[in-house]
C-alpha cells in the first residue's frame, strides 16, 4: 500500500513538473535590424519588470499559466539590443552626463518600466485570455532626451467545452504580443538614437 501511495505521488509530481511544457513561447526579433555604431549604455534593471497575472477561472487548465514572463521580457530585450548596437554595455544604475562623456557613451537608454499583464476569465461558456505589454524608456545623449512609450495587446477565446487549453492560447498570443513590442522597440530606439546624434 505504501509503495502504491509513493508511486502515485511520484506520478503526480512528475506530471505537475512537466505542466509548463505546454506553454512554449519563442520570441523572434525583427529580421531587418539596422546596426547602430559607437558605444551605448543600457539600464535594464530586473526591478523595471512588473508582472500582473489575474486568473479568475479554473477552466481550460488555467493552472498551466505559471510561466516566467519576466525572464521572457528581459531575454527578448537583451537579444534585440545586442543585435542593434555595435557596442553595448548593460549597467546596473543610471549614468549621469559626466560618466557618459568620460566613458565615451553616445547614448544612455533607461528602461524605466516594463509591464506585463495577463488576465483569464470565463464568461458563460467562453474562456477569455488577454495579454498586455507596455514599455516606458528614455534615450539620453548630446544634451537631448527622447521619451518613448510602446504598447502591445493580444486576446484569445475558446469555448470551455471544446478542447479548451489556455496554455496553447497564451503561447500563441504572448509570442505575437512580444514580437510586436520588439518591432516597435527597434523602430523607436533607432529613431531616438538618430535624433540624438543628428
Cβ–Cβ contacts within 10 Å for residue 181, how many?
24
Q: What is the DSSP letter of 161?
A: T
Q: What is the DSSP letter of 37?
A: E
Question: C-alpha grid cell for residue 160?
Answer: 470551455
Look up the pTM and report it.
0.84
Q: What is the DSSP letter of 77?
A: H
**Residue 19 near residue 63 (C-beta atoms within 8 A):** yes
For all residues of the chain together, what is the average pLDDT? 87
As a whole number, mean pLDDT of residues 185-195 equals 95
Q: Which helix (H) or strand (E) holds 191?
A: helix 166-197
Domain ranges of the chain: 35-197
Interval 87-121: pLDDT, tens: 999 999 999 989 999 999 999 999 999 999 999 99
Q: What is the DSSP letter of 11?
A: H
Residue 140 pLDDT > 60: yes
As a whole number, mean pLDDT of residues 30-44 equals 91
The topology under which CATH files domain 35-197 is Double Stranded RNA Binding Domain (3.30.160)
**Residue 135 near residue 181 (C-beta atoms within 8 A):** yes
Q: Counting Cβ atoms within 10 Å, is residue 166 exposed (0-12), middle (13-18) or buried (19+)?
A: buried
Amino acid at each position: 500500500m505504501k509503495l502504491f501511495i509513493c508511486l502515485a505521488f511520484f506520478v503526480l509530481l512528475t506530471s505537475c513538473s512537466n505542466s509548463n511544457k505546454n506553454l512554449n513561447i519563442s520570441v523572434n526579433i525583427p529580421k531587418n535590424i539596422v546596426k547602430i555604431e559607437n558605444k551605448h549604455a543600457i539600464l535594464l534593471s530586473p526591478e523595471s519588470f512588473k508582472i500582473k497575472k489575474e486568473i479568475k477561472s479554473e477552466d481550460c487548465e488555467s493552472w498551466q499559466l505559471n510561466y516566467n514572463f519576466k525572464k521572457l521580457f528581459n531575454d527578448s530585450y537583451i537579444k534585440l539590443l545586442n543585435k542593434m548596437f555595435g557596442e553595448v554595455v548593460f549597467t546596473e544604475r543610471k549614468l549621469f552626463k559626466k560618466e557618459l562623456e568620460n566613458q565615451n557613451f553616445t547614448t544612455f537608454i533607461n528602461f524605466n518600466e516594463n509591464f506585463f499583464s495577463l488576465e483569464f476569465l470565463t464568461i458563460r461558456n467562453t474562456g477569455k485570455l488577454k495579454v498586455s505589454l507596455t514599455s516606458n524608456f528614455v534615450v539620453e545623449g548630446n544634451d537631448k532626451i527622447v521619451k518613448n512609450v510602446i504598447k502591445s495587446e493580444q486576446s484569445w477565446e475558446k469555448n470551455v467545452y471544446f478542447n479548451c487549453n489556455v496554455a496553447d492560447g497564451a503561447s500563441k498570443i504572448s509570442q505575437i504580443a512580444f514580437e510586436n513590442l520588439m518591432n516597435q522597440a527597434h523602430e523607436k530606439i533607432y529613431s531616438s538614437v538618430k535624433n540624438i546624434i543628428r
